[in-house]
A and B are shown apart, each in its own frame.
Chain A
């Protein structure tokens, strides 16, 4: 039964650049009783409004006559979690070919409406989607609260009804199982969906992801390849990503680069160029990096999807290619737009110093370096730190440069990408002989600390072990390897002490939340969350028994 309630409570946003269409859509919404309507004439406008108000319905024109089209805007909003979970997004398009645009992406708007549209077209889709939202609310509300086991139970309840919402519930179940680290059950859910419809893209992708998460990389690559070889899947960039991530995980970053490059040819968006540029730079393919990053910066200039990192990496690539003046121009052009962006200033100064060294302005370079150092309080595992280290090494400050690289690797010693960047920097500045020493010594320092903590734990010196690892976290708050170990050791402490220590539980939650931010969607974090849940489960079970007995 379709949604029967009133629509008048809905606050709507129309994103449309043509005044005539704005009036038409507003009139049609008024016919449905929706009178609270805002209008945005471009993506930037829409972005601002969506951040400040809460909309229940967004009608967005696909052709915005700007560098950002409706689909890019939609994906940007989704990726940055700017759309509230109860907001419906409808794409309005003049082209029946939009289907092929939508087929290339995993993120579909809630509906697409082909012009000319009538009020009843909007009403039909709106009511159907409101009913869907209602039906899936028990699952989604638990997912929003991060109650994954609860979401799973709710999904099973919807599935048992075998009604209209069977497939979307199955999709949510698969996603939840993946988040829970229960790969085998996730595979079963996706296979069940494929029995209904063997060409379902989300299920095929889910199956590939479940294999990747389970460490079955060659199977994941094969499944992703099959998607790309299929008629409707040749533009599915998410499949390229599964493949690239699997290749990187098996120690083939060069292979990952070529896969990402293929994806950017299929969908030449600024985001795809950015991924290629970043990977090409790390892999030492400077020409490819330059081409990709130029495209990324050009495509997103002045748009909400523009990122300062693209410009900075392009400038660094140009310095490496021996074109310092071009590099400086790139940085200077972008400075007004990014002057308030975090880390832009330090990195821009570090690049400027490199340019000055390269062009023989040694004195000037020293002054610039002083400013850059002042902006960086502590070395991090990021591009800014490595860039400044490079400037220091080029200016002849070997000790300062190596210390910065050491701090970068200590800040996240298991980060393969940062290791790749550091090796590259050392090789380019004539310190090839120190690669092993810098990377290995920092990593070894971390590893021995972890080993000490584990040994103490084995000797039942639980508090001492926790003390060591907490210290490490305090020293290196963004070191993912340390955070993972710390979460595990704290869980083991819970198990050994056999008490639900609220403070310790909060600490572990904090570590896991940090890991989620540092390594979004990564399988290792998922597995640690699972271990944490199992630990809580073990401790809760005897407590419950005690209460009931």
Chain B
């Protein structure tokens, strides 16, 4: 296992410790709110384990993309739906917006499951930094399908927020997913830069 993966495994172990503590507290004073929170953290951890295993698989056996014609717009819509519910349950004030769904091309060839995993990780990251809103977008630009996840946080270079379970997992995974999308001598890539609006950061993933 590489150093990066070991580091991530270490973080996952710590998060599991956090969950264990929550559960023991739950034994002492069982409350629905507490149980709800523990459940949320548990499913969050499970999500991270799936990412970790996908990334581990990518490093050891190589990841392969099974690209079919998919609707980028519908994937974005589904992510927005899932995240809205999740944030509501967590009591987070952050809004998830898709400002202009009409830009999405009718179809594109990509691996639905892998791209969903990568975008989910990017949104997770953006939500941690965002003050009030995360904007999602997908459009065709110069023959590339460009996904973007933008937040209105303090931007790059700012101190890591105190939120727990921060790992480099999401970025490493998105990068691996982008790189297995190849077509006509072009390879997918990601970038993380200051947002063009001047506030916050923007994650983009371009697929050929």
Task: Note all chain A residues with C-beta closer than 8 A to B113.
Answer: 114
A2 within 8 A of B: yes
Shortest CB distance B59–A (Å): 12
**In the complex, what distance in Å separates the CA atom of A108 from the CA atom of B64?**
16
Q: How large is the interface on B (under 10, 10 to 19, 20 to 34, 35 or more residues)?
A: 20 to 34
Task: Note all chain A residues with C-beta closer than 8 A to B106.
Answer: 162-164, 166
**Of A17-25, A98-106, A183-191, which stretch is located at the interface?**
A98-106
Contacts between the two chains (Cβ within 8 Å), count: 48
- The CB with the most chain B CB atoms within 10 A, among A97, A114, A164, A197, is that of A164
**Residues A99 and B107 in contact, CB atoms below 8 Å apart:** no
**In the complex, what distance in Å separates the CA atom of A103 from the CA atom of B66?**
8
Task: Note all chain A residues with C-beta closer than 8 A to B46.
Answer: 116
Shortest CB distance A290–B (Å): 36
B61 within 8 A of A: yes
Known: A116-B50, A166-B107, A198-B184. A99 touches B66 (CB 8 A): yes
Task: Note all chain A residues with C-beta closer than 8 A to B64.
Answer: 96-97, 99-100, 103
Q: How many residues of A contact B (CB 8 A)?
A: 25
Known: A96-B54, A96-B57, A116-B50. A164 touches B66 (CB 8 A): no
**In the complex, what distance in Å separates the CA atom of A198 from the CA atom of B77?**
29
**In the complex, what distance in Å separates the CA atom of A472 from the CA atom of B106?**
56
A299 within 8 A of B: no
**In the complex, what distance in Å separates the CA atom of A98 from the CA atom of B63?**
11
**Residues B66 and A102 in contact, CB atoms below 8 Å apart:** yes
Task: Note all chain B residues with C-beta closer than 8 A to A114.
Answer: 113
**Residues B69 and A167 in contact, CB atoms below 8 Å apart:** yes
Cβ contacts A163-206/B at 8 Å (1 or 0 each): 11111100000000000000000000000000001110000000
Task: Note all chain B residues with C-beta closer than 8 A to A165.
Answer: 107
**Residues B54 and A168 in contact, CB atoms below 8 Å apart:** no
Task: Note all chain A residues with C-beta closer than 8 A to B54.
Answer: 96
Shortest CB distance B53–A (Å): 8
**In the complex, what distance in Å separates the CA atom of A241 from the CA atom of B109?**
27
Cβ contacts A104-136/B at 8 Å (1 or 0 each): 000010001010100010001000100000000
Task: Note all chain A residues with C-beta closer than 8 A to B107.
Answer: 163-167
Shortest CB distance A303–B (Å): 27
Shortest CB distance B190–A (Å): 20
**Residues B184 and A99 in contact, CB atoms below 8 Å apart:** no
Cβ contacts B62-74/A at 8 Å (1 or 0 each): 0111101101001
Cβ contacts B163-201/A at 8 Å (1 or 0 each): 000000000000000000001100000000000000000
Task: Note all chain B residues with C-beta closer than 8 A to A96.
Answer: 54, 57, 61, 63-64
Can you identify 21 A-B contacts, CB atoms within 8 angstroms?
Answer: A96-B61, A96-B63, A98-B66, A99-B64, A102-B66, A108-B68, A112-B66, A116-B46, A120-B82, A124-B78, A164-B106, A164-B107, A165-B107, A166-B106, A167-B69, A167-B107, A168-B69, A197-B183, A198-B183, A198-B184, A199-B184
8 nearest A-B pairs in the assembled complex, by CB-CB distance: A99-B66, A99-B64, A167-B69, A164-B106, A164-B71, A163-B106, A164-B107, A96-B57
Task: Identify the B interface with A (CB < 8 A).
Answer: 46, 50, 54, 57, 61, 63-66, 68-69, 71, 74, 77-78, 82, 106-107, 109, 111, 113, 183-184
- Taking A96-B54, A114-B113 as given, write out 16 further A-B residue pairs in contact, using a Cβ cutoff of 8 Å, ordered by the A residue number: A96-B64, A99-B65, A100-B64, A120-B82, A128-B74, A162-B106, A163-B106, A163-B107, A164-B69, A164-B71, A165-B107, A166-B69, A166-B106, A168-B69, A198-B183, A199-B184
